[in-house]
Amino acid sequence: MVRHDSALDVYKQALPVILVSLVAGLFAGTLLGTDTMRDGIESVPGVLLLLPAFLATRGGVYGSLGARLSSGLHQGLIDPQFKWNDRLRNAIVASFLNGMIVSIFIAVLAWSVLLVLGRDGNLLELLIIMVIAALLSAFAMLGVLLTVIFKGYRRGLDPDNVIGPVVTTVGDVFGVAFLLIGITVAGALL
C-alpha cells in the first residue's frame, strides 16, 4: 500500500492552493500599499509593529478552532449542522475570547516596544484599533469558517484539508482591511 508521491505529484496537488493563497496575500498586500493605508501607517506609530502579531494571532485562534471542529465532526462529537449545542457554543465563545484577549495584549505589547525604542505611542489609539480589528475579524472568520466546515463536511469534503488555506486566505485579506477600519475609527474618535 505504500505509494511514494513523486515531487511532481505533490507539486501539482499543492499548486492550486498555494496560488489561491498567493492571490489573497497579494490582495492583502495591495491594501497595505494603498495611499489610505500608508497614511494610516504614517500617522499611527506602532501599526507596523503589531501587524505580524495580529495576522499570526488570527491564524492561531481560528486555525485551532477549525482543527477542533473538524476533529469533532470526525469523532461524532458535533453534528455537521449549525445546531447551537454546548460544545459548539463553548468552542466558539472560547475562540472569540482568545482573539480578544490576545489582541488587547498585542496593543499593550506594541505600545511597550514603542516606549523601549524611545518612540511616541498612544496606548488608547492602539487599543481601539486592535479591539475593532479583532471584533470584526471574529465575526468574519467565524462566519466563513463555520460555513465552510459544515457545508464542506456535508458535501463530503474533509475539513482538515481546507481549513489551513481558508484561514490564511480569508484571515490575511480581512485582517488588513479591518486594521484599516480600526485606524479610521480611532482617528475619528480621538
Partner 1 sequence: MSAGSDVLHGEDLDDDEGDQLTEWTVGNIVSTLVPLLIALSILQMVSGTVLETFEEQLLEHPSLLILVPVMIGTAGNLGSIMCSRLSTQLHLGTLEFSPSNPNIRANVGAIMGLAATVFVLLGVASWAIGSILDGTLGLGTLLFITIVSGMLLAVWVVIVSTVAVYASYRLGYDPDDTTIPIVTNVSDITGVLILFGVVWVVL
Subset of residues 78 to 97 that bind partner 1, contact rule: CB under 8 A = 86-87, 90-91, 93-95, 97
Q: From the CB of 182, what's the least distance to partner 1, in Å? A: 16
Q: Could you give the 3-state DSSP secondary structure of residue 117?
A: coil
Instruction: Give, as one character, the DSSP assignment of residue 5.
Output: P
Total residues belonging to the chain:
190
Question: Quick one: which segment of 25-33, 137-145, 148-156, 178-186 binds partner 1 (CB under 8 A)?
Answer: 25-33
From 95, 122, 102, 136, select the one nearest 187 (Cα to Cα): 122
CA 20 to chain centre: 16
Residue closer to partner 1 (CB basis): 18 or 189: 18
The CB-of-44 to partner 1 minimum distance in angstroms stands at 11
Give the helix, strand, coil percentages of the chain, each rounded to 5.
Answer: 85, 0, 15
Residue 190 engages partner 1 in binding (rule: CB under 8 A): no
CB of 171 to partner 1, least distance (A): 9
Closest CB 72 distance from partner 1, rounded Å: 8
* Smallest distance, partner 1 to C-beta of residue 92, A: 9
Give the Cα-Cα-Cα angle 51, 131, 56 (nearest 5 degrees).
35
Site for partner 1 in 109-138 (CB under 8 A): 109-110, 113, 117
DSSP character at residue 77: S
Which amino acid appears at position 35 of this protein?
D
Smallest separation, CB 168 to partner 1 (Å)? 6
Q: Which parts of 32-51 interact with partner 1 (CB under 8 A)?
A: 32-35, 37-38, 41-42, 46, 48-51
- Residue closer to partner 1 (CB basis): 175 or 189: 175
Task: Render the burial of 55-74: b for 16+ CB within 10 Å, e for the rest.
Answer: bebbbebbbbbbebbbebbe
* Total chain residues near partner 1 (CB under 8 A): 71
Sign of torsion over alpha carbons 127, 128, 133, 139:
positive
50-79 positions binding partner 1, by CB under 8 A: 50-53, 55-57, 59-61, 63-64, 68, 72, 75, 77
